[in-house]
Structure 1
């Protein structure tokens, strides 16, 4: 029994060191990017611009946490952008058309997103549909349902308190939506580091068959991960609705690519079993800082897409080289 405890401690220590090393490269890249932009434009290195960056990454940050869970088990989720739109439209219809309290609309939006994740999880585990195909199908279905709710029309006008969640700066610094993102990140970090269920994600991503033989319910873990990813995408949709004070079925288009990019740039391996929330947060910041800096430098939005694509390729290439050396 003592030997098993010692081995588990060694495994936990090794996993911790791996996570730290995996996030070192992205952190250096983030610092170098900030240094470059500080010399390139006077507007970048200011408190106001820093708070603006935090406001801009709230939606991406919340979604990226769920995507980290998915990629850690060796999966992929292409439906998060559409699920975000679905949650927004369900919330908007419930509150503005059905006339129910906004809190009820928010709950219904999160429930709708959770059901989407449950369907994906069942397709992957029970019907053996590849995650790429299952989430691609959900991406189309969720977007279609989001459009059907209001026949493709947007819904505007929510209570003032809802909009102020993304405007009022508590203590003169952070908005409620930024606090929410940081809370999600913290809870996810604690879950992966201090809960046995969190370590199960690494085991499933490392080798599902070995994890199954070790007594882990791989199917249940997989379903739970896809539900968590979908619910967090729905929560990000609620945050986006607060920022825009409106909901529309076209929201979230292309967000799945930014979300996957943030997780990969943060050092989480697409093959599963390696990575963490700390690296993902750094990846989110890299994308947020990069977009903000390119806007300050008046770089064309089309060229921005090219630059971000290059950054993703470089990040994946660096991760591949690091793993080969290891």
Structure 2
């Protein structure tokens, strides 16, 4: 029996023994999401239901854009709406799911006031700002977050059409360790406009390289620095690596290093991340800064591969 929770934005909550029909996302590193996705939200892959493309957007510590905190926020978002004709409207009956891993059953969340939501050009998402209290979600006895792992899902029915779903698994890499690589760039004054790459190094069972643009990559007056996946085509089709990295140029005189930090996803299509405006060339070349000494600089990369997202 479904029980309306009117004190929590009118959520109708029930339980189900069956997994969601259209999509599931298993997150095995939930604690890491709060550092990167607490503001912009973690977006799942696209999935199809009722002839349309959708995705789930999760805010692990509440949707800050709506001044929500201490809750999990979860939304269904229409993807690819730009390809639809002007004036389109899609009425959707949808449910969001959260697995109780202790009992093997799902909590099912629906809107208590209206069963069908109208998606259109001005409203591309619907869901729940306060799906569940973070305190209740994190309580191991409730079974929603166990060993830093949780499972969300969605059912989306358009014109009563039901299709077999697909899913993804964001799996953590056990005992992920920080891998460091140091690259000494000699004869810096002789370097040209092109990109220079370090020798490949290993981190998380993958090969990486540092890309250095001595005169900037579309950032005039700056030095550009990137961390690149050496062979992105070796990734399983449709997969993404969840990576935390730091790029530095070392201060060889005072140990006051200049750095750039990133937490992002690498894929075959997006295989390099970094900073176009890493450091101003004028500052970099100042003798008292210690970045350039004896016409050489020392570049360092720290890379931790925390997980891989694979299509199911």
TM bucket, shorter chain:
under 0.3
- TM-score w.r.t. structure 1 length? 0.24
Which structure ranks higher in relative contact order (CA pairs < 8 Å, sequence separation ≥ 6)?
A: 1
Greater share of helix residues, 1 or 2? 1
- The structure with more radius of gyration: 2
Greater share of strand residues, 1 or 2? 2
